[in-house]
Amino acid sequence: SCPTMGRAMGLAGLLLGLVVVPAVLVSTSLRHGARRAEAEPEPSGWELVADAVPEDSLWPLPQWVRTYPRQLQLAPSRFQLVHGAGSSAGPGCGLLQDAFRRYYEYMFGHSLRRTWGSRPLAARGEPELFELQVVIEAGDPGCDGHPHLSSSEAYHLTVTEPVAVLKAPEVWGALRGLETFSQLVHEDDYGSFLVNESEINDFPRFAHRGVLLDTSRHYLPLKSILTNLDAMAFNKFNVLHWHIVDDQSFPYQSIYFPELSDKGAYSSNLIYTPTDVRLVIEYARLRGIRVIPEFDTPGHTQSWGKGQKDLLTPCYSGGQPTGSFGPVNPVWNTTYDFMTKFFKEISSVFPDEFIHLGGDEVDFSCWKSNPEVKQFMKKQGFGIDYAKLESYYVQNILDIVSSYNKGQMVWQEVFDHKAQLKPDTVVQVWMANNYAHELSSVTGAGFTAVLSAPWYLDYISYGQDWKKYYTVEPLNFPGSEKQKKLLIGGEACLWGEFVDATNLTPRLWPRASAVGERLWSSSNVTNLQDAYKRLTKHRCRML
Amino acid sequence: AENEPSWETPCTELLVYVSTPGCDGFPSLDSKESYKLSVSKGSMLLSAETIWGALRGLETFSQLVGRDENGTYYINETEIVDFPRFPHRGLLLDTSRHYLPLRAILETLDVMAYNKFNVFHWHIVDDPSFPYESSTFPELSRKGAFNAVTHVYTASDVRTVIEHARLRGIRVIAEFDTPGHTLSWGPGAPGLLTPCYMGKVPSGVYGPINPIVNSTYQFVTRLFQEVSTVFPDFFLHLGGDEVDFTCWQSNPEIRAFMKERGFGEDYKKLESFYIQRLLDIVSSLGKGYIVWQEVFDNDVKLRPDTIIHVWKDNNLEYLKEMANVTRSGYQALLSAPWYLNRISYGQDWIEAYKVEPLHFEGVPEQKALVMGGEACMWGEYVDVTNLTPRLW
């Protein structure tokens, strides 16, 4: 059970203090329902609080942590998060101001002692910690900008009396450091807030640490998405891969092509208006999270055809159109006219430098049945190799998107089918079968890669499956040092076939936390017992 | 227009007619839940033998009411005759592996009623925690709950659950599982559990309830006296599953007892010794009992009206077990294929739906002994944050 009051995700269970039980009992682990052969050794249900060590609840584990036995007290009514002297950011930095308020709430929110009392701390003898000073070191802190792939998320945290100092080159590192600081602050049995003297030096192992949400298979209300962004921030994730449309529905309300969602969304209220989209982007930005939208083509586009006539390929049977449609039609000029205009809008609506263009699972059968397409194949000299047609299409889209100065992310098929990619195109490896080999191929060809294959979190299973996500080592593939550098990170994917607002949060978390640590922490942080200890505390805190 | 439905005079009332009085009682295994629903021009009638049938009929009626695009509520002319195929349709919740706040239990009862479930099997205590506040033995929850103040069910909470259930025609069958699954009982009841030994010395670790000391049976008698009064249903679930013999085997006093009784090395006999005495105690308190299948498998002497709860599912072994249990003349409950805590990807509801409870080898008289079944939501990985979407 969760001993301390959680943070943001709204759960009532409060506790006054742990009941320390003389714990000489061992749970025999014969859980009813588990076959004997499966019984896993579980830690005892009663933990001795006195043994708890301050690093016991840091998640993800920072690169370098030193904690000391000496503790400092914090008084909610007096403690402040402030801009330190010499910081290039000040009260005008909205992003940090917002973070200060947010982290104050997380640390002291449920405490009644926020506004009462100016009495000096009598209960304990420890010295008081009065403030955490945040110092941004770079000339341009980046307060009003958006995070990039190359942003610095490093920070240095010193907790000592009378003030703690959080130094970071950019505001993004300060956000990460604030999260860590808030994880160090703990309550004792009497409700006093304490923090151990410590020094932390931290930075992420991988620069691209994402979560994919699918809002086409099931619409996700804004609240779901925002709650998820909060959870991502608790775990230092920095990319929201928004798989916003697909076959089943088109909830994105386009300014140039309003019919797309008018006809393609599940219903008129299950859409994301431009305001909704801006809200998501800003909410994410304030947490140092990039929003990379995915408009997956030419496959996965059934819903596009509802609001855009003559976009999808009409399928044929026996010389006649059947009435059903396949992927986007690659042979008509109007297709590219549409895509040019559409991606112009997307490029301006979404500020991130990257757009995900999809390109996965294109079913060639409809193309093969269409006489115009067949004729085009002949004219182009593609023979019967429809992968060439797919690549022809994809290359055109890549060009269009490039012209808007956006980088592109694609699913691995685009690379596998030998389309000509731009040098900075990022390839997302998702097929589970022999993904290490795929990583070698992609990086061997000089392309940047993002790993998702072992992290399809929609594939639920019984028991502590977080462990199998945690034990993945992304760089375990044959390749040179140079190649390994091209693997810039990974994404935990929660496809939406069986997910909606009623079950998203408990399904994604804390399982995704395992991926979060794998992508942030050092490669030698692999001990499952230690991870279990920290993860259970972290999970309770997230609630 | 031609295709418009013919709106008859708006229906203003559903008449509910119950032939057997009894609003203030509790539902039981024998309760009749049949009802007839008749919706026609000018009259809507729900008739049932008992109030429990009326509840089922109201649920069905509420499912028939539709709403069109204009917001108008409507109902089609309908004739329904309904009754349950099985009289025991249960759901198990485990409040020991993770505490479930009252609202989670009450919400579950609501959804059970939407689905015409009629038994709430409350697996209330187990190894990890003892949240049941006992008036006879307050130390049990004081020392055994995850938190003695916030993670307990007070007498008032228990009454609330029982009444909330009753109002929905749902029986509450409490399970106090012994002699295994009792680690959390130890701190509040010193001397109850068997001290395990490492060679000649106690190891400091404890095992199942100690079956050889009289204090055990005094304790059990007093506890079940209380439980029998608190829970009005005729049946109590007594557990009896997964008893690990290693601790008993390690204890010299128990080994001596085994010798004295001529049980040899067969610790199943010791388990039976305990269970038999427990069953006698509970019988004498005027309650019937349900036990997990091990109690039957280990040849314990049972009363003829014992209900055996079949749960082991290794390669469809439950089909054989259902046959054995019913062939021996006992009533059976099926849970084996319905362990909903064992989640998997995709539309796994289909597997649960395809189960045919009577699909085992046996004569009709045997089949008639199958009272029904229970979907189980064990709590190792379940708490209030994920219970509802995992169960429904």
- Looking at residue A113, its pLDDT comes to 56
Q: Average of pLDDT values for A511-522?
A: 98
Q: Tens digit of pLDDT for each residue in A288-322?
A: 999 999 999 999 999 999 999 999 999 999 999 99
Return the DSSP state at B329: T
Environment class of residue B255 by beta-carbon count within 10 Å: exposed (0-12), middle (13-18) or buried (19+)? middle
Q: Where in chain B is the domain with CATH 3.20.20.80?
A: 88-391
> Is A266 within the bounds of a domain?
yes
Give the span between the Cα atoms of A230 and A277, in whole angstroms: 16
Q: Does B384 touch chain A (CB under 8 A)?
A: yes
CB contact (8 A) between residue B146 and residue A1: yes
User: Contact B327/B366 with Cβ under 8 angstroms?
Assistant: yes
- Looking at residue A34, its pLDDT comes to 37
Other beta carbons less than 10 A from residue B312's beta carbon: 18
**Residue B238, pLDDT above cutoff 70:** yes
- Tell me which residue of B263, B292, B238, B202 sits closest to B194, measured CA to CA: B202
- Looking at residue B11, its pLDDT comes to 77
Q: Which of B147, B149, B201, B339 to mutate to test the interface with A (most CBs of A within 10 A)?
A: B147
Are A443 and A533 members of one domain? yes
> Is A13 within the bounds of a domain?
no
**Residue A15, pLDDT above cutoff 50:** no
DSSP A37-48: GGPPP---S---
Known catalytic residues of A are 361
Q: What CATH number did the domain enclosing A177 receive?
A: 3.30.379.10
Give the span between the Cα atoms of B360 and B319, in whole angstroms: 5
CA of A35 vs chain B CAs: smallest distance (Å): 8
User: Is-catalytic flag, B163?
Assistant: no
Q: Does A19 touch chain B (CB under 8 A)?
A: yes
Residue A298 is part of which domain span? 208-542
CB contact (8 A) between residue B380 and residue A33: yes
Percent of chain B surpassing pLDDT 90: 93
**Residue A263, pLDDT above cutoff 70:** yes
> Is A376 within the bounds of a domain?
yes
- Looking at residue A120, its pLDDT comes to 58
Tell me the pLDDT band of A14, cut-offs 50, 70 and 90: very low
Residue at which a domain ends, from A202, A237, A266: A202
Are A307 and A447 members of one domain? yes
CA of A33 vs chain B CAs: smallest distance (Å): 7
Q: Average of pLDDT values for A274-294?
A: 98
Q: Tens digit of pLDDT for each residue in B362-375?
A: 999 999 999 999 99
> Is A274 within the bounds of a domain?
yes
Chain position carrying tokens 């000509």: A420
Beta strand B193-198 pairing with B201-209? antiparallel
Tell me the pLDDT band of A516, cut-offs 50, 70 and 90: very high
Determine the number of helices (DSSP H) and then strands (DSSP E) in chain B.
13, 16
Are A169 and A231 members of one domain? no
The count of structural domains within chain A is 2
Are A219 and A198 members of one domain? no
CATH 2.130.10.10 fits B15-82, yes or no: no
**Residue B164, pLDDT above cutoff 90:** yes
Largest CA distance in chain B: 93
Q: Tens digit of pLDDT for each residue in B343-356?
A: 999 999 999 999 99
**Residue B92, pLDDT above cutoff 70:** yes
- Tell me which residue of B142, B126, B283 sits closest to B134, measured CA to CA: B142
Residue A490: HSE in the Cβ half-sphere, 13 Å Cα cutoff: 28
Q: Three-state SS for A205?
A: coil
- Tell me which residue of A406, A458, A451 sits closest to A428, measured CA to CA: A451
Q: Where in chain B is the domain with CATH 3.30.379.10?
A: 15-82
Cis omega (within 30 of 0) on the bond before A54? no
Q: Does B249 touch chain A (CB under 8 A)?
A: no
CB contact (8 A) between residue A31 and residue B380: yes
Q: Which of A4, A24, A29, A31 to mutate to test the interface with B (most CBs of B within 10 A)?
A: A31
CA nearest A29 in B: which residue? Answer: B127
> Is A57 within the bounds of a domain?
no
**Residue A276, pLDDT above cutoff 50:** yes
User: Contact B86/B115 with Cβ under 8 angstroms?
Assistant: no
Q: Average of pLDDT values for A336-353?
A: 98
Residues of chain A with Cβ-Cβ distance to B337 below 8 Å are none
- Tell me which residue of A417, A416, A419 sits closest to A429, measured CA to CA: A416
Q: Does B129 touch chain A (CB under 8 A)?
A: yes
Q: Does A112 touch chain B (CB under 8 A)?
A: no
Tell me the pLDDT band of B9, cut-offs 50, 70 and 90: low
Record: fold of B88-391? TIM Barrel (3.20.20)
Q: Average of pLDDT values for B138-165?
A: 98
Q: Tens digit of pLDDT for each residue in A364-419?
A: 999 999 999 999 999 999 999 999 999 999 999 999 999 999 999 999 999 999 99
- Looking at residue A111, its pLDDT comes to 63
- Looking at residue B303, its pLDDT comes to 87
Are A198 and A213 members of one domain? no
Instruction: Nearest by CB to B389, from A14, A28, A503: name it.
Output: A503
| pTM assigned to the model | 0.91
Instruction: Nearest by CB to B386, from A28, A463, A506: name it.
Output: A506
Residues of chain B with Cβ-Cβ distance to A500 below 8 Å are none
> Is A284 within the bounds of a domain?
yes
- Mean pLDDT for chain B overall: 95
- Looking at residue A246, its pLDDT comes to 98
**Residue A222, pLDDT above cutoff 80:** yes
User: Contact A210/A492 with Cβ under 8 angstroms?
Assistant: yes
Instruction: Nearest by CB to A1, from B151, B311, B343: name it.
Output: B151
A268-300 CB burial, b ≥16 within 10 A, e <16? eeebbeeebbeebbebbbbbbbbbbbbbbbbbb
Which pair of structure tokens corresponds to residue B100? 């479930």
- Looking at residue A17, its pLDDT comes to 29
- Mean pLDDT for chain A overall: 90
Percent of chain A surpassing pLDDT 90: 84
Are A428 and A479 members of one domain? yes
CB contact (8 A) between residue B314 and residue A503: no
Chain position carrying tokens 């049938």: B53
The length of chain B is: 392
Residues of chain A with Cβ-Cβ distance to B128 below 8 Å are 27, 45
CA nearest A34 in B: which residue? Answer: B342
Tell me the pLDDT band of A145, cut-offs 50, 70 and 90: very high
**Residue A10, pLDDT above cutoff 60:** no
Return the DSSP state at B287: -
CA dihedral B235, B236, B237, B243 (to 10 degrees): -140
Are A252 and A359 members of one domain? yes
Residue at which a domain ends, from A172, A202, A232: A202
Residue at which a domain ends, from A170, A202, A234: A202
CB contact (8 A) between residue B385 and residue A18: no
Q: Tens digit of pLDDT for each residue in B13-71?
A: 999 999 998 899 999 999 999 999 999 988 999 999 999 999 999 999 999 999 999 99
- Is the ipTM higher than 0.85? The answer is yes
Positive or negative: CA dihedral A416, A422, A428, A434: positive
User: Contact A155/A168 with Cβ under 8 angstroms?
Assistant: yes
Q: What CATH number did the domain enclosing A384 receive?
A: 3.20.20.80
- Looking at residue A53, its pLDDT comes to 65
Are A191 and A287 members of one domain? no
Are A286 and A137 members of one domain? no
Residue B1 identity: A
Positive or negative: CA dihedral A390, A396, A401, A407: positive
**Residue A47, pLDDT above cutoff 60:** no
- Looking at residue B301, its pLDDT comes to 84
Tell me the pLDDT band of A190, cut-offs 50, 70 and 90: confident
